Amino acid sequence: MLSMLVGISVSLASIALIAVTLRVRPGWTPVSVFAGGIALSEGVTILVGVFGLDRFYVWPASAAVGAIGIANFFIFSAVYKSVSLQMLGILTAQADGCADKSLLIEAVARPAVEERMELLVAMGLVTKAVDQTYLPTSEGRQTIARLQKVQQLFGIKRSGLYQRT
């Protein structure tokens, strides 16, 4: 039981460290910060357990570190770039609490699509023509074929965590 409490304590401290790191180093990718934070939590948990406890049980401590790390990452992911929360924020910022659909599309959807298309171009998955049309590269076609196989494996018919598959 004490081993698990060490894992929980270190993981909770890691959540604070991750939150501070994301604020202080906004250029670092959140996935890298979370992976580093979880790995550091595991290392510190083992060090505290080995050198600070008479008996240390690795599996319960590691299970606590992993479970809290994954839960923290899912919570962060749910609010990081949530389109629904962006739209709700725009609606609540309006004087009368409502907005035309075109405002939401211009404020949320258009920038999201433009940002994602530029990312796909930067990754070499798509090329962009002068007339603002896009064409998938051979690497892009291969990538989508692989992803569609994974989706088929898991029975995913469309993407989105909050929709039925």
Per-residue pLDDT tens digits of the chain, which is 165 residues long: 888 999 999 999 999 999 999 999 989 988 899 899 999 999 999 999 999 988 999 999 999 999 998 998 888 888 877 888 889 999 999 998 888 899 999 999 999 899 999 999 999 999 999 888 999 999 999 999 999 999 889 887 766 555 554
Pairing of strands 126-128, 134-136: antiparallel
79 vs 145: CA distance, rounded Å: 29
- Distance of CA 104 to CAs 84, 85, 96, 100, 163, Å? 10, 12, 15, 7, 20
Contact 143, 125 (CB under 8 A): yes
Q: Is 128 helix (H, G, I), strand (E, B) or coil?
A: strand
Tell me phi and psi for residue 98, to 5 degrees. Answer: -135, 160
